[in-house]
Amino acid sequence: MLQSPSVVEQQASPSPNSGLFDAFIQWFDVIPADTPALREKAYHLRYQVYCCENQYENPDENLQQMEMDAFDERSAHSLVIDRASGVAVGTVRLIFSGRETPTGVFPVQHILRQPLPADLPVSSTVEISRFAISKKMRKMADGDKNVNCSIILGLMRALVQMSLEYGVTDWLAAMEPSLLRLLGRFGIDFAPLGPLVEYHGIRQPCHVNFERLLEQIRQDHFDLWEFVTEPNDSWKAAKAS
């Protein structure tokens, strides 16, 4: 089947971001945390980031040095793993819709100052949560922004893989403005849901239609689209086992 000239051109042209993708593929893997042992790795990393490095959560309320909450029971989790050591350096989860609570279906509703969009398909919507990278890894990178940025893109790859697997249509999140700006450089643009709020620092509640976002990335950043949509060997092996 012949490809359109634009696609051929995108594939043939050198990408300014190819170094980020190459660095990630060389040093890291993305895997689903779909076993108790792998989820414990995610919880341990969250404890390090949310309880020790940033004091967002009370370490005394998280036993065995694992940061966990009630939303983990209805979440899918992923890890970014350092190939050489097997150490988890990044983690993220998707929270699926569940039972209505006094503050809403998703945790972001607790900090929103307005209702969710009326046309939001709640049953196929998820909230991006616990997007965390080890500060130890950031120090090991010795200020190399490419390494840190490649891990962030690796976590986005994880989010895309999970969303494709579970038929997700929409993403909700409460993100740091600096992270939103970084993602925007790659065409990953979220729409704000109301004003900035104070929650573990300044956060922007936001939303994006996942299906439209993926198509926009395919058109404007084909190299990134290939990177996030193609499962790596470790992801394939985990799902095949």
5-27 per-position pLDDT tens digit: 333 333 434 456 777 888 898 89
pLDDT of residue 117: 92
The domain defined by 93-240 folds into Aminopeptidase (3.40.630)
Token code pair at residue 26: 């060389």
Of 62, 40, 234, 78, nearest to 155 by C-alpha is: 78
pLDDT of residue 144: 65
Longest dimension (CA), the chain: 60
Token code pair at residue 1: 């089947």
Q: Is the entire prediction scored with pTM above 0.95?
A: no
Token code pair at residue 142: 């010795």
pLDDT of residue 139: 62
- The domains of the chain are located at 93-240
Q: Which residues contact 101 (CB under 8 A, 6 or more apart)?
A: none
